[in-house]
Amino acid sequence: MKVTRLSGFPEYLPSERIVEQHFLDVIRETFELHGFTSLETRAVEPVERLLGKGGDADKEIYGVTRLADSGAERSSREPELGLHFDLTVPFARFVLENAGKLAFPYRRYQIQKVWRGERPQEGRYREFTQADIDVVDVGELAPHFEAEMPLVIAEVFARLPIGRMTIQVNNRKIPEGFYQGIGIGIDDVTEIQDTLRIVDKLDKIGADKVRTLLVEAGRTPEQADQCLALAEIRTEDLSFVDRVRALGVQHPTLDEGLDALAAVIRSGLEHAPGAMVADLKIARGLDYYTGTVYETQLEGHESWGSFCSGGRYDALASDGRTTYPGVGISIGVSRLLGLLLSKGLVAASRATPAAVLVAVVEEDSRAESAAVARALRARGIPCEVAPSAAKFGKQIRYADRRGIPFVWFPGAGDVEHQVKDIRSGDQVDADPQSWQPPAQDLRPSVEAVVPSP
Amino acid sequence: MKVTRLSGFPEYLPSERIVEQHFLDVIRETFELHGFTSLETRAVEPVERLLGKGGDADKEIYGVTRLADSGAERSSREPELGLHFDLTVPFARFVLENAGKLAFPYRRYQIQKVWRGERPQEGRYREFTQADIDVVDVGELAPHFEAEMPLVIAEVFARLPIGRMTIQVNNRKIPEGFYQGIGIGIDDVTEIQDTLRIVDKLDKIGADKVRTLLVEAGRTPEQADQCLALAEIRTEDLSFVDRVRALGVQHPTLDEGLDALAAVIRSGLEHAPGAMVADLKIARGLDYYTGTVYETQLEGHESWGSFCSGGRYDALASDGRTTYPGVGISIGVSRLLGLLLSKGLVAASRATPAAVLVAVVEEDSRAESAAVARALRARGIPCEVAPSAAKFGKQIRYADRRGIPFVWFPGAGDVEHQVKDIRSGDQVDADPQSWQPPAQDLRPSVEAVVPSP
């Protein structure tokens, strides 16, 4: 049978996978340092639940049916289960299902694959990994969690071998209040969503086209200009408040939004200076966000869009009696790695965890080599034993091909054990019970690569 | 919409998930110590490829179709993609697809979910996690890898908080040669597979029924007795060789098998004493095993069957010109966890990664608490800041409910910082820049629980 790649389903070779593992490890470690607990949900949800959220996501859902059930007699039946297309829908379901057993506020992280049956394009996948954090509470959620989310994410990005990532923060109440203050949505509340959706295209289509679309949608030219003036405000400090005030619009919802955003930015200035900007054009398409919203840009790769987005929601999960408001943010791990790996911006120091290859002198003495390996492993040094008792030159090439930095030559009788750093050629006597590689060689390292000009 | 559990799709609460994470971390760490590189394959394969392997697995495959494509006009069409039901089929496909980019012998580990659409029963899941290691080479595979696999697995089990796990090892050439030596399969080679399949039921149905089935299948009563005599041999040392010889059967394939199994058991006695037994009834149903085969039993839970199985295969992957022989073994992580968690045999020390809860004196001083948390995290101490400036008693209860061992009370001005061990009640002055929790409290620990009599 022919072996074919499936478009949109990325798979990594060993050295690329080490890069991915490093990213996932850093993300997990940072989330755990901040006291988030891990959740892993099943891959499938009832299709009915998947269709209930996320706009026109129905076009993108993969249905799942037992092959034995998909025969003729059941062919007219729609699949009852589908693969989840994000981690928010299963998280909300999990909270409702287990509310009695969870401690609130519930801080959870979730790093899993998701699937979308869309047409693949550059940087878009049909199967990809997301890394989410959310905090949900019962009934009410304290606003300080909205300030905490981007601090966690800023720490993740600071620990990853990538360029400067800027977290753009806005509060949905700012445009919503501002729009109402200039007469949008007074008679027809859908005008607000409408306007938000058009302004959200600013980066893609530019101010002129946004102005045209706004007027076509029924806004006056003056309203359109005011909307654009608001959207163009972007400041690293608290000066956005004065700049909004200077536009002369008054509305209590606007005041609330400005106070809330100022609190988030103030916390950013204190705990993660330089990581955040107040960016008043950020809207996030999804209807369920009600407060702070987040997007991110990687410097020099702004056209790739946001690698990490989220926001505050008041009623993502509700069982009718109890509502679970929350705030969350999601890192698009596969999209970020896809960019970095395809542009050669990040690389692993080797293609295997092994720091040492223990050479085999002759096949009959393999047990002695295995004993050396056992002694090294007992002290946490990853190693493997050479696959054959070939000439040492060939065994060294085996190590070299995988980037294994050290080759160990077992001693016997009066012959001392020796270890060779195959990068420098240095070879020294060594004791399997005590020799330690330099700390930076113990595990593969993953570093940013500066592209040559 | 009603929230319902899906039978066969396990999901864990925070403290259970910490147990699962610990198991997965230990498995990964041990695999990496042995120089296995990580592979993660896509969740889907062409249905055609899935159907090509694994016997009657077709009944168990979940087909995957875009929901948008599953409407009326395409309803007669079978799904082209399916979720993988093991990690071996995707691994074999990955090797063929990337042979030119991989370094052989290729040592890979793979820890992923797999899906089977079977009727759920105790300990069986529709979605579950497996952890596999395999070594494949081009054309030929050195026999020492067959001895290496169970050593890696023995080390995994020794590091996990579980009871004694015994690795049962056999070599398919032993029964195959033995059977031929007593006249089975001389005219009709399928008699050998047939006999193996019946003998494989020994643990389930007992010797008497196996004898009956063998005779019904056309073996003579004498042949049946000899088959059972072979299957009953189980030794921790090399004495199995003499016991087989004592049965008086001669065949060159039998000799090969005995030599090969002796090499594996000898390596086990040297590098992992007590971990392995030669158990000549182990056959493994799957046709593609050609040499060493492995199963495992957890002491006291033998009726749960094997938690870890595998073997040597000569031609799992082949592109027609080149054949990739290999040897592999797979840990059924979800089945093992399902047993341990449902019987209460393992538990985590807490339900969150956080070692410290930093209390908040009043909402206006939250930034000071956050600064303490930042200082602790900078030194790798997982912590969270209290969700509200409630009375300290309530904040302590918040920590207690999650098992967080320490609560930090931020100092201010002349007041020193203090940290309280809420288990002992001890409260001492502490400096956020230098205080360190005891090593055993830094991360949640996962320990075996001895059931009360």
Identity of the residue in A117, A366, A402 whose CB atom sits nearest the CB atom of B68? A117
Per-residue pLDDT at B117: 87
CATH number of A14-37+116-347: 3.30.930.10
Per-residue pLDDT at B286: 66
Cβ distance B17 to A38 less than 8 Å, yes or no, reads yes
Name the pLDDT band for A224 (thresholds 50, 70, 90). very high
Identity of the residue in B39, B63, B68 whose CB atom sits nearest the CB atom of A67? B63
Residue B352: list chain A partners with CB under 8 A.
35, 37, 107
Strands A37-38 and A106-115 turn out to be parallel
Work out the minimum CA distance from A75 to partner chain B, whole angstroms: 5
Work out the minimum CA distance from A431 to partner chain B, whole angstroms: 18
Work out the minimum CA distance from B11 to partner chain A, whole angstroms: 6
Identity of the residue in B32, B382, B402 whose CB atom sits nearest the CB atom of A353? B32
Cβ distance B382 to A35 less than 8 Å, yes or no, reads yes
User: Which of B33, B84, B93 should we substitute to test contact with A (largest number of A Cβ atoms within 10 Å)?
Assistant: B33
Cβ distance B46 to A4 less than 8 Å, yes or no, reads yes
Cβ distance A63 to B65 less than 8 Å, yes or no, reads yes
Q: Reply yes or no on domain A356-448 having CATH 3.20.20.70.
A: no
Per-residue pLDDT at A122: 57
Place of tokens 């080149």: B322
Which positions of B make up the binding site for L-histidine? Answer: 86-88, 116, 130, 134, 284, 288-289
Q: Are A235 and A264 in contact (CB under 8 A)?
A: no
User: Which of B2, B19, B27, B37 should we substitute to test contact with A (largest number of A Cβ atoms within 10 Å)?
Assistant: B37
Cβ distance A370 to B271 less than 8 Å, yes or no, reads yes
CATH number of B1-150+324-348: 3.30.930.10
Q: Quick one: CA torsion of A309, A313, A319, A322, rounded to 10 degrees?
A: 140
Which positions of A make up the binding site for L-histidine? Answer: 86-88, 116, 130, 134, 284, 288-289
Cis, peptide link before residue B105, omega less than 30° from 0? yes
User: Is the pLDDT assigned to residue A335 strictly greater than 80?
Assistant: yes
- What ipTM goes with this model? 0.95
pLDDT digits (tens, 9 = 90+) for A142-193: 999 999 999 999 999 999 999 999 999 999 999 999 999 999 998 888 899 8
User: Is the pLDDT assigned to residue B108 strictly greater than 60?
Assistant: yes
Cis, peptide link before residue A105, omega less than 30° from 0? yes
User: Is the pLDDT assigned to residue A132 strictly greater than 60?
Assistant: yes
Rounded to the nearest integer, the mean pLDDT of chain A is 92
pLDDT digits (tens, 9 = 90+) for A252-297: 999 999 999 999 999 999 999 999 999 999 987 667 888 999 999 9
Q: Are A307 and A332 in contact (CB under 8 A)?
A: yes
**Domain limits of chain B?**
1-150+324-348, 356-448
Average pLDDT over residues A128-154: 96
Farthest-apart Cα atoms in chain A, separation: 95
Name the pLDDT band for B77 (thresholds 50, 70, 90). low
Average pLDDT over residues A68-95: 79
Counting one residue from chain A and one from chain B, the pairs whose CB atoms sit within 8 A come to 245
Cβ distance B3 to A107 less than 8 Å, yes or no, reads no
Work out the minimum CA distance from A166 to partner chain B, whole angstroms: 20
Q: Quick one: CA torsion of A296, A299, A300, A302, rounded to 10 degrees?
A: 20
User: Which of A19, A24, A42 should we substitute to test contact with B (largest number of B Cβ atoms within 10 Å)?
Assistant: A42
Strand order in the sheet with A127-136: A37-38, A106-115, A127-136, A323-332, A308-318, A289-298, A165-171, A276-279, A234-235
Q: What percent of chain B has pLDDT over 90?
A: 81
Identify which of B28, B129, B127 has the alpha carbon closest to the alpha carbon of residue B334. B129
pLDDT digits (tens, 9 = 90+) for A54-71: 545 556 899 999 887 765
Tokens of B256: 């090969």
